[in-house]
Every structure is written in C-alpha cells, then in structure tokens.
Structure 1
Amino acid sequence: MSTLVDLYPPFGLHVVAGPIELRGLTDDLLLELCHLAEAGIHDPGEMPFYVPWSTAPVGELSRNTAAYHWGKRSTFSPDDFCLDLAVLLDGRVIGAQGIAATHFPVTRTGETGSWLGREFQGRGLGTAVRRAFCALLFDHLGFEEITSAAFVDNPASLGVSRKVGYRPTSVRRIKRREGELALNQGLVLTPGTFVRGDVPVEVTGAAAVRAFIGLDD
C-alpha cells in the first residue's frame, strides 16, 4: 500500500543542521505553521512580501496559508513547483523556507523565499536556515543557481542573503501595497559564492524528491 511520502515525496525530506531542522510540510506541521503566522510575522507598518498575504484578518490568515500550501501540492510538477519546508527549532515550528522553480530540468534554478515567526527573528536563525536549505538544493537536488530578492527597506533579509553569499543583480520598481512603490533588490547565489558556515548538514529523503522534480539519475 502506498504511503503519503510515496504520493508526495517532499513529505519525506528531512534536513538537520545543528538545532535547526527542515521537514516536509505535512498537514500536522502546516497547522503549527498557521498558528505561528497568526501570532505575527512583522510589524504592521512594514511589508516584506511581494503579495501582502500576512495582513489578512485573524482566522482568515490561517485558512489562506493552508489553502496556499494545499494548492501548491496539487499542482506540483517539474515544470512548475514550489518546494516548501517547515523550519523547526528544538522540535517546534518557527517558520517556513521554500523555493519556486519553472522548467527545472532545463533551467536548474529557482527563487528562495522564507519567513520566521516574529519572536524568532534577530537571533541568527534565518542565516542558519538559509545555509541548510541551499546546501540541500546544491548538494542533493541538482540546483546550479539560486535566486532571491528583498525590498531595499528590508535590511534583515538582505543581510541574511549577504552572509550566505548571494550577490546583487538588478533592482526592480514594483507595486507593493495599494498605491505604494517599492524597490526590490534581486540576488543570485552559485556554488562558487555559497558561504556554507561550519555546521554539518544531514539530509534524508532527497533521492525520491530528485525524481519528483524531473531529475533522471
């Protein structure tokens, strides 16, 4: 009989880097993530995301978060996928880290995105999470380039990217909230610029995900 991991291999991903874990976002972990989002991600006067999803009312934010991840599971294919993992610290969900890619078997690139619950920010955890995730992508899932972006008024996110080795590319002028112009700094990371740090990264469950994203070993 098939298991849930057989049906959706990302559920079986497990990355360990010191006290940090990245796990496939099962429904149990997704429920914890929804509760975390409701507790707050950023100051109400700030907006770190392209789409201001985090401003939804209490209750609706949880439903929106769950629906988004359920939808991405249902449409997952090598030509268009979002691989999202739960971030855990000492067994507790503290955020999410993911990557979106299109035509991956050809392009071998994708754009990372992440968030941590507000109480876990400013402690160096974002850098540790990004390093572990990029090690997974480069060493186990066949990525040859990783991109990211952050608004120029989001120094915390830009600082994480700089520490991990991302290099700046172009700046885009985009609409953020209604009527608001924001400058968005593009970033790119390659294996040659990747700053790994000194924490070993252990990965299980990657082989099945490689096949799921269209890599033929």
Structure 2
Amino acid sequence: MDAHFWPLYGLRITTPRLELRLPDLESLSELAAVAADGVHDEDRMPFSIPWTDASPEERGRATFQHLLGTVAAWTARDWTLSLAVSCDGTVVGRQDLGAVDFAVTGEAHTGSWLGQAHQGRGIGTEMRAAALHLAFEGLGARYLTSSAMTDNSRSLRVSEKLGYRPDGLATVSVRGAARTQVRLRLDRAGWEAHRTVPVELHGLQPSLALFGM
C-alpha cells in the first residue's frame, strides 16, 4: 500500500518470529477471519467490552470496522495504533498501542488479542514486547499501562514477565455482572530490566508527527 499520505502503513516492527504492521485490506480480512474463528472459550470473557459475544461473522465484521475506525479517528492528540501480528507469514492476532496527549504525558496503554489456534506458544509475550519497544525506544514513552481481569492468568503472566507492576484495582460491568480488573503499570527502568526479546523498528521516522512528536 502507498504510504505517502498515511506513513503508518510503512511502519513495521519485527521480532525473531513476528511482524507487526498496520494491515492493508487483504491482511485486515485475514485478521477478521482469525477473530471469527475465536479468541477465547465461550464460557469466559476476558474483555471489559464483550465484543466477542457475537456470531463468527459479526466478530469478523467488528474487527474490520474497528481497525478502519482507528485510522479514521486518528489525531496527534488521541490515537490508537492497531497492528496485525503475523507469525511466519500467517496473521495470528492484533496488538494495540494507544494514548491521549502522549506528547504531554509520555504515557500510553496496550491491548491485544490472539487467535485461539495460536495461543500457548509465547506469541502474546513477543507481540507485547514489540509494542513496548515501539513506545519506549521509538517514541520515548515514560510509562505504559495495561489491565486484565483477575482471572485472566495468561495476560497477567505476560505483564509480569515484561516488568509491569500492579497499580490498583477497578470494578467494571461485564455481561451485567461486576468484574474486577487489575491495573498494571510499567516504567522505563522496569522495561529495560526485563527486556529479553530482540525487536527492530522499520519506517518509524516518517510517522513521528502523527504521534504528536
């Protein structure tokens, strides 16, 4: 895709197994298909917004619309970079990095999901590490935040391995019931102390103004 008017299409983040990039329409269709196939067991809900409580077709369509919406709504003050994650050439999930007033606060947040067929292989840790490298090394972030339900042990383990520390609890309404989230925070020192995944950034410079840099 021509990245002249939207240089984020030229941004790539690579690790030993993964490539993260803003998907073109073909890759976005592949990502939507991964969401349609399922990202968690039906008897649990790891998200505060239960977007997966839908048919496979609706999940795929929601993924397609959400990602295009992040591009359309982007401003230098309020942005969400929603990247398709490919492992050995196959799209396996999505990794988000977002912020409001990042140029002032230096703080951003992460979110992600991974297709069920690709879980249990360490991909979730590797793709989050890629997003952290972009934030701290590429954009000069001061802090990264995340959150997970108290029973989402996989997500909490990823955060712990990468150096996040608990930052309080929050009560949210999910499926009409009260659920408890763990808030998590990572500073630059914690990130540097827990770096184990080699990450490379490609094509970031032309996009810096879009991040408010």
TM-score between the two structures when normalised by the length of structure 2 = 0.95
Question: 1:51 maps to which residue?
Answer: 49
Deviation of 1:81 after TM superposition, in Å, equals: 0.8
CA contact (8 A) 1:135 1:196 kept: no
Q: 56-65 vs 180-189, which deviates more?
A: 56-65
Deviation of 1:122 after TM superposition, in Å, equals: 1.4
1:42 equivalent to 2:40? Answer yes
CA contact (8 A) 1:165 1:193 kept: yes
Deviation of 1:154 after TM superposition, in Å, equals: 0.3
1:183 equivalent to 2:180? Answer yes
What amino acid is aligned across from residue 191 of structure 1 in structure 2? R
SS in structure 2 opposite 1:193? helix
Q: Deviations over 1:160-185 (max 9, x none)?
A: 0000000100101110112x110000
Aligned-CA RMSD value: 1.2
Deviation of 1:85 after TM superposition, in Å, equals: 0.8
Deviation of 1:120 after TM superposition, in Å, equals: 1.0
How many residues align? The count is 211
What amino acid is aligned across from residue 178 of structure 2 in structure 1? L
TM-score between the two structures when normalised by the length of structure 1 = 0.93
Q: 52-61 vs 87-96, which deviates more?
A: 52-61
What amino acid is aligned across from residue 196 of structure 1 in structure 2? R
Name the % identity.
38
Question: 1:124 maps to which residue?
Answer: 122
Q: Deviations over 1:97-153 (max 9, x none)?
A: 011211111111111000110011111111111112201111012221110000001
SS in structure 1 opposite 2:133? helix
- Structure 2: which 5+ runs fail to align? none
Distance 1:145 1:12 in 2: 25
Question: 2:168 maps to which residue?
Answer: 170
CA contact (8 A) 1:42 1:118 kept: yes
Q: Deviations over 1:2-56 (max 9, x none)?
A: x731222221111111011111222221110000001110000111111000111
Question: 1:82 maps to which residue?
Answer: 80
Question: 2:152 maps to which residue?
Answer: 154
Question: 1:214 maps to which residue?
Answer: 212
Q: How do 1:105-144 residues align onto structure 2 when only pairs under 5 Å count?
A: 105-144=103-142
- Structure 1: which 5+ runs fail to align? none
